[in-house]
Each structure stands twice: as structure tokens, then as C-alpha cells.
Amino acid sequence: MIRVNVKETANRILSFEMSGHADFAEHGQDLVCAGASAVSFGAVNAIMELTGIEPEIEQASSGFLKVVFPLDLDEKTDGQVQLLVRAMLVSLKTIEQDYGQYIKITFTA
């Protein structure tokens, strides 16, 4: 199962972490893994390209991805980052609605 843990304050996403594999299908044919990977990496790439920030990124070939967003952003840039991260979460929640036994999203403070 893919586990997505999102750390947030009252109105700001601080970081997210993805780990595991969906095991929906064989390696190379797993639509859930491919979808979750495309959504998360696409969002991180968009954040970097469109806002110019460099989040702290950790990743491993085991299916692990952790992204921590800087705390010292100006209001406009932070708003852009938050919008893009929330768009990513909408897409991941859509995957979770259809394939909930393969992906689980949790929010922590």
C-alpha cells in the first residue's frame, strides 16, 4: 500500500511523505503507483519550475519520497506553493477514492 502522510498547520502544508508500493498490479503495469508517482513528482517539478523554490527532497528507489517546504517564503510565493500542493492532494484523493485499498492519505499536525 502507498501511504501518504501530510504534515500541516492550521492553514499551511509543511511537508508530505510517500512510501510503499500499491501492489495493484505487476511492476511496470501498476496504474495506482504510476498515477500517484506522476501526480506527486509532477507537482514537485511544477513547484520548483513555477515558483523558483527548492524544497528539501529525500527519495529512494524503494518508493519513498519526502518533500519539506521552506518556512521563510514571502506571502505570494508561499501562496503559490500551497495552491500547487493542494492541487496535488486533490489528485491523490481522487486516486484514493477509486483505489482506497492501495493508497491511504493521512494528515497530521
| Residues catalogued as catalytic | 21, 33
Contacts of 60 (CB under 8 A, 6+ apart): none
For 3: left if phi > 0, alpha if psi spans -120 to 50, otherwise beta; the answer is beta
φ, ψ (nearest 5 deg) of residue 48: -65, -45
Degrees to nearest 5, angle at CA 107 with 39 and 48 = 40
The answer to whether the CB of 77 falls within 8 A of the CB of 51 is: yes
